[in-house]
A and B are shown apart, each in its own frame.
Chain A
Amino acid sequence: MRIWSIILILLMSAGCRKEVKVKLPEYKSKLIIEAWIEPGEPAQALISTSAPYFGGFDYSNPTAIFVKGAFVTVSDGTTTDTLKEVIPNQGFYYKGDNLTGQIGKQYVLTVRHGGKEYTAHTSIRNKVPLDSLFFKWEFDSLGFIWQHFKEPAGLGNYYRWQSKRLNVKYGDQFFAGPIFSVFDDKFIDGKEFNFSYDRGPQPYNVQAWRDDPNRNLYRVGDTVAVKFSHIGQDEYEFWYTYYQNKVSNTNPFSAPVNIKSMFGNNQEVIGCFVGYSYVLDTIIIKNKP
């Protein structure tokens, strides 16, 4: 309900605001797993923990949320690969070695940490191409990337859209998925249409991104790579509830949403393991003709 968010903003500016102290119930940290596998690449996982907002977390030592020494494996049913810490002293980032993703295969990821074991399944589906990319100027030098898409007939397809600016200066760190960057074909099965997305967020620590007032738009001169992935239903539901949780950010007009963790029990773990079967396309944004 986007409109209520707009009303909310109006209320926030019209009503009176003040800083308050809140006494929250005691918090138990959860394991956070962000894992993926792509064709031709080994599986990768970022593992951290959640932390309480107030009390109990030392904000001056943020790397304390990184999880070191977790035992992470990926298997395709015949081969099992152990994911290693990429930066051994930091933990957090784990990457596989000898097992690479293949279209049409299924994978299971297992994380053992703190005496507990969590697993999630994914598969790499076939690629679904975009027809073409084009740019639409909203202002003189700013606008959105649009894509022409012909959705293949047959219900049950799920997609994720991400983009990355390949500019030399202010290039993006990674492929960013904007809010609700996943969709299904429930309403659009077999249809041909155009769609666009905002420019997605860059990691929290990219100052340039946060300071840009037009951070949701692309600029003339940008070279942008679009990554369009075909994903599975559980993967879609994870991302969808993840974004629902994100937009509900203490909004009184929406009920809080529990993310559908792909690792089960979300009182202990929140995470996903996604097989991305993607196509890449690049667009160079030129001046308005």
Chain B
Amino acid sequence: MRISCLFFLVIVCRYISSQNISVSGKVFDKKNGEVLVGATVYSKARPSQAVFTNNYGLFSINLPVGSHTLVIQYIGYAKKEIPVEVTKQIHLNIEMTEEGGTTLNEVEVVGEKNDENVTQNRMSTVKLEMHEVKKIPAFLGEVDILKTIQLLPGVKNAGDGNTGFYVRGGGPDQNLILLDDAPVYNASHLMGFFSVFNGDAIKNVNLIKGGMPAEYGGRLASVLDITTKDGNNRYWEAEGGIGVIASRITVQGPLKKEKSSIILSGRRTYVDVIAKPWLEKTDFKGTSYFFYDMNLKWNYILNEKNKIYLSGYYGKDVFQFNSVEDFIDTRIPWGNATLSARWNHIFNSKLFSNLTFAFSDYNFKFEAFQDDFEGKFFSGIRDFGLKYDLYIYPNSRHNIRAGIHHYYHIFTPTNVSAKQGETVFDLGKVVKLYSHESSVYISDDWTLRSNLKLNLGFRYNHFFHVGPFTRYLKNFQGKITDTLNYRSGRVVSGYPGPEPRASMTYIVSPSLSFKASYTRNYQFIHLATLSSVSLPTDVWMPCTEVIKPQIGNQYAAGIFKNFKDNLFETSVEVYYKDMKNQIEYKEGAEPSDNVYDNPDNAFTFGKGWAYGAEFFIRKSKGKLTGWIGYTLSWTLRQFDEINYGLVFPAKYDRRHDASLVLTYEPLPFWNFGIVWVYATGNRGTLPNGFFLFEGSMSNDYGLRNSYQFVPYHRMDISATFSFSKHKEWKKSKIISADIEITTASPENKRKLNHSLTLSVFNVYNRYNPYFIYFSRQGDLLKGDFKVVAKQVTLFPILPSLTWNFKF
């Protein structure tokens, strides 16, 4: 701590001695007033001292007194140059226009290529804009941000039918998913076939795989920071789509022009409605499945210096299963709700602040009825968070962030209740676990020399598990001998978590740089999965006396090189990671084991390692854009109580993982997309042998994850035809290619813009394994016995058609 105080003092001294004058401002989209995050701002004379707009579109740059030309750049937008006379502190509002928006001629990209990836002091970070994501072929036409990030190197998908993702050998629970700053605990719908994020509501996505800045914490592997749209504060508009399985609609507009805006998005599937008449005549009458979700954001600009927003998400999945044959009637609802409120305050051009309240709730319920038997179980997690963050720009060499975060977590590990007729089975009290997680951090993005940048940060966390809590003391036979009771608010156990963070960038030339980073992370919450795929039944558990915090160290280094005037961005990164206190259920554990026992006793602990190299080539300009990513990696685990204590590969230990993403826009109204992925097969545990017991055959399983599935590969394609753009294009051809048609004013924007997308998932119909099971045929004792392995594939070739509209 002392070192970081000293470090802070040094920075403050530098701040006082600073001579330059700061120019601050906000960068936003001219059309709808949405702020642009990560836009580059620099003085034309000093391009190496570029700054970027933060999450609220704000920037601050220090310039010497005199005349400057400020250059503002943002991918997909026309570059802007503004002359400024720097004599005193000034604040600018900068409007940007989308490329191709001003002219309706062929999309010849005019914007200058950006060297941001080389010069920025950030590694292992990828930013995706929603308009880029929407061009990539989507599964059943549903644009899915989680599926898209899985196409990036270092991020692995869990296979078909799964939105869980694995970053650099970490588990799906080690990703911090933030939706407008509120954590999302289960990001999947329908057992993981779709993510909870509605593409129409999202503005952009930032994925941090390594070199995690100190303002983020609480997870080991990555941060996925999702920002939703602010809502158009100029005019009302609506957009939506009708797809094969779901439809969605988004409405946004000003409540008070240029002051306050609102955006509301909704989505619902309709498989249940379609399947209903079918199931009516079967034994499965009453079986249905649906999900829906809603996003709402309200923005209010109080004045130049104060802005507030309120953002909420609510989504639910409901699965109902009825079987006349088995006399079973079950209902399984689960869902997330998040709410965040933020007050964004600008003290002056050198100091911004954010006060954020975040709420998140995830719960899962299972209700079953059979005759007069009624069984229920439920689990969940609820978070209340308060954060205060400061952004300090003392001079052009420093970019300081500091803050204090506090989370109050309420965990409900699986609880069970059951009754039969009038008899209520004693399944113990409802178990809840309460905990506090506090953090303070400070970090400085420090431009030491024009070619050397450092980012030094320190985050300190403290985690407390507090009462009410009952600890069951058991003897060696597992019988409860006594209980320890902790009163409400009393500390049961606590863990400190100091996290040093450091990264550096050495710029060799504007197109070549070397970067390295070290991060240490603590994670105080764990996701315990009973199954090999992520399911809503997975239970979140906090640290307790028994469960220690997960600790991860990551070392990464990389070379970043751009070619052809930044047309091609390339990078090679290597990483090594170790992880302590990893959690797994003990073999054979079941959710109901919590009853009359502390849930933490169902787990066992071990460690993990991961290392690998990632190669990335990206072209984000021109008619043909896209990327190629390749990852070579190893991921291992060791648990004393699993697999006889032997080291075993993690399920997603894939040696090779490659992806190719291309989008081609030959004409403004045509967009073609192609995705190809290849991955070494997942690992699994299959029965290697069999034995006879009580006259029936049983499986004898091999070592943990000793079987490797066949490689996974697949190609998806899509084609989008925009009717409105086509009409305008034809019109512009007639008028003359030379005449520039200015952007449509809000009034004539009202007209319908619509497009049709045909996408084909798994074009060459590859049967990728979802799982393998053994089918036994014949009679062992008659000598005609045979065993065959059968592979189940979830998705064969799946074409889909989606109609999208905007007016």
Binding site for B on A (CB under 8 A): 1, 3-4, 6-7, 11-12, 15-22, 24-25, 27, 29-30, 32, 34, 48-54, 59-63, 65, 138, 155-156, 173-174, 176-177, 186-189, 191-194, 201-207, 233, 240-242, 244-246, 249-258, 260, 267, 270
Which chain B residue lies CB-closest to A206? Answer: B695
Q: Is the CB of A65 within 8 A of B692?
A: yes
A62-B785 contact given A16-B796, A32-B691, CB 8 Å threshold: yes
Among B533, B701, B780, the residue within 8 A (CB) of A253 is: B533
Q: Is the CB of A187 within 8 A of B427?
A: yes
Binary per-residue interface labels of chain B (579-620) against chain A in the complex, 1 for a CB within 8 Å, 0 otherwise? 000000101101100011000000000000000000000000
> Can you spell out 26 A-B residue pairs with CB atoms less than 8 angstroms apart?
A3-B366, A7-B191, A15-B794, A18-B793, A22-B707, A25-B707, A27-B688, A48-B692, A59-B786, A62-B783, A191-B426, A193-B420, A201-B694, A201-B696, A204-B695, A204-B779, A233-B477, A246-B698, A246-B699, A250-B686, A250-B687, A250-B771, A255-B531, A256-B687, A258-B587, A260-B588
Residues of B with C-beta under 8 A to A61 = 783
Give Cα A55 to B463, complex, Å.
Answer: 54
Residues of A with C-beta under 8 A to B771 = 250-252
Which chain B residue lies CB-closest to A216? Answer: B326
Residues of B with C-beta under 8 A to A191 = 423, 425-426
Among A6, A194, A260, the residue within 8 A (CB) of B420 is: A194
In angstroms, how far is the closest chain A Cβ from the Cβ of B714? 14
In angstroms, how far is the closest chain B Cβ from the Cβ of A262? 13
Q: Is the CB of A252 within 8 A of B770?
A: yes
Residues of A with C-beta under 8 A to B774 = 53, 249-250
Known: A156-B477, A249-B699. 17 other contacts (CB 8 A): A3-B366, A15-B794, A19-B789, A20-B791, A24-B688, A24-B707, A25-B702, A30-B700, A32-B691, A51-B691, A53-B689, A155-B480, A202-B695, A206-B695, A255-B530, A255-B531, A257-B701
In angstroms, how far is the closest chain B Cβ from the Cβ of A118? 15
Binary per-residue interface labels of chain B (762-797) against chain A in the complex, 1 for a CB within 8 Å, 0 otherwise? 000001011111100001111111111111111110
B residues contacting the other copy or chain, number (CB 8 A): 82
Name the 5 nearest CB pairs between A and B, nearest first. A203-B695, A50-B691, A252-B771, A250-B773, A256-B701
Which chain B residue lies CB-closest to A195? Answer: B420
Give Cα A254 to B538, complex, Å.
Answer: 12
Which chain A residue lies CB-closest to B423? Answer: A193
Give Cα A98 to B792, complex, Å.
Answer: 54
Q: Is the CB of B420 within 8 A of A252?
A: no
Residues of B with C-beta under 8 A to A251 = 771, 773
Residues of A with C-beta under 8 A to B191 = 7
Residues of A with C-beta under 8 A to B792 = 11-12, 15-17
The residue among A51, A188, A241 with the most chain B CB atoms within 10 A of its own CB is A51
Which chain B residue lies CB-closest to A21? Answer: B789
Which chain B residue lies CB-closest to A59? Answer: B785
Residues of A with C-beta under 8 A to B330 = 3
Give Cα A20 to B686, complex, Å.
Answer: 14
Q: Is the CB of A27 within 8 A of B695?
A: no
Residues of B with C-beta under 8 A to A60 = 783
Q: Is the CB of A6 within 8 A of B690?
A: no
A4-B531 contact given A188-B425, A250-B773, CB 8 Å threshold: yes
Q: Is the CB of B790 within 8 A of A19?
A: yes
Q: Is the CB of A34 within 8 A of B767?
A: no
Q: Is the CB of B773 within 8 A of A15?
A: no
Residues of B with C-beta under 8 A to A16 = 767, 792-793, 796
Give Cα A207 to B779, complex, Å.
Answer: 9
Give Cα A270 to B698, complex, Å.
Answer: 11
In this assembly, does B647 line the interface, its C-beta being within 8 Å of a C-beta of chain A? no
Residues of A with C-beta under 8 A to B87 = none
In this assembly, does B742 line the interface, its C-beta being within 8 Å of a C-beta of chain A? no
Give Cα A49 to B704, complex, Å.
Answer: 22
- The tally of CB-CB contacts under 8 A between chains A and B is 216
In angstroms, how far is the closest chain A Cβ from the Cβ of B145? 25
A62-B794 contact given A24-B702, A32-B691, A252-B532, CB 8 Å threshold: no
Residues of A with C-beta under 8 A to B328 = 6
Q: Is the CB of A205 within 8 A of B779?
A: yes
Give Cα A252 to B479, complex, Å.
Answer: 32
Q: Is the CB of B695 within 8 A of A205?
A: yes
Give Cα A275 to B689, complex, Å.
Answer: 28
Give Cα A11 to B537, complex, Å.
Answer: 18
Among B587, B694, B782, the residue within 8 A (CB) of A203 is: B694
Q: Is the CB of B532 within 8 A of A255?
A: yes
A52-B793 contact given A19-B788, A30-B700, A204-B696, CB 8 Å threshold: no
Binding site for A on B (CB under 8 A): 191, 321, 323, 327-328, 330, 332, 366, 368, 418, 420, 423, 425-427, 477-480, 530-533, 535, 537, 585, 587-588, 590-591, 595-596, 644, 684-704, 706-707, 710, 767, 769-774, 779-796
A242-B781 contact given A12-B792, A250-B771, A252-B533, CB 8 Å threshold: no
Residues of B with C-beta under 8 A to A240 = 588
A204-B531 contact given A15-B770, A187-B426, A244-B588, CB 8 Å threshold: no
Residues of B with C-beta under 8 A to A250 = 686-687, 699, 771-774
Among B591, B694, B779, B794, the residue within 8 A (CB) of A34 is: B694
Q: Is the CB of A53 within 8 A of B687?
A: yes
Q: Is the CB of A138 within 8 A of B327?
A: yes
Give Cα A249 to B427, complex, Å.
Answer: 28
Which chain B residue lies CB-closest to A62? Answer: B780
Residues of B with C-beta under 8 A to A255 = 530-532, 585, 587, 685
Which chain A residue lies CB-closest to B644? Answer: A267
In angstroms, how far is the closest chain B Cβ from the Cβ of A288? 16
Give Cα A20 to B770, complex, Å.
Answer: 13
Give Cα A260 to B530, complex, Å.
Answer: 18
Residues of B with C-beta under 8 A to A22 = 686, 707, 772, 789
Give Cα A250 to B772, complex, Å.
Answer: 7
In angstroms, how far is the closest chain A Cβ from the Cβ of B602? 13
Residues of A with C-beta under 8 A to B791 = 17-20
Q: Is the CB of B477 within 8 A of A253?
A: no
In angstroms, how far is the closest chain A Cβ from the Cβ of B376? 13
Q: Is the CB of B479 within 8 A of A155?
A: yes
Q: Is the CB of B691 within 8 A of A20?
A: no
Q: Is the CB of B698 within 8 A of A186?
A: no
Which chain B residue lies CB-closest to A241? Answer: B588
The residue among B479, B585, B698, B710 with the most chain A CB atoms within 10 A of its own CB is B698
In angstroms, how far is the closest chain A Cβ from the Cβ of B641? 10
Q: Is the CB of A32 within 8 A of B693?
A: yes
Give Cα A61 to B707, complex, Å.
Answer: 28
Q: Is the CB of A205 within 8 A of B702?
A: no
Q: Is the CB of B535 within 8 A of A253?
A: yes
Q: Is the CB of A186 within 8 A of B595?
A: yes
Give Cα A60 to B684, complex, Å.
Answer: 30
Give Cα A248 to B543, complex, Å.
Answer: 29
Which chain A residue lies CB-closest to B771? Answer: A252
Among B321, B767, B794, the residue within 8 A (CB) of A18 is: B767
Give Cα A173 to B781, complex, Å.
Answer: 16
Q: Is the CB of B688 within 8 A of A53?
A: yes
A24-B691 contact given A62-B785, A204-B781, CB 8 Å threshold: no
Give Cα A32 to B693, complex, Å.
Answer: 8
Residues of A with C-beta under 8 A to B770 = 11, 15, 252
Q: Is the CB of B530 within 8 A of A254?
A: yes
Among B694, B782, B789, the residue within 8 A (CB) of A177 is: B694
Residues of A with C-beta under 8 A to B786 = 59
Q: Is the CB of B701 within 8 A of A258?
A: yes
Among A201, A204, A233, the residue within 8 A (CB) of B692 is: A204
In angstroms, how far is the closest chain B Cβ from the Cβ of A25? 5
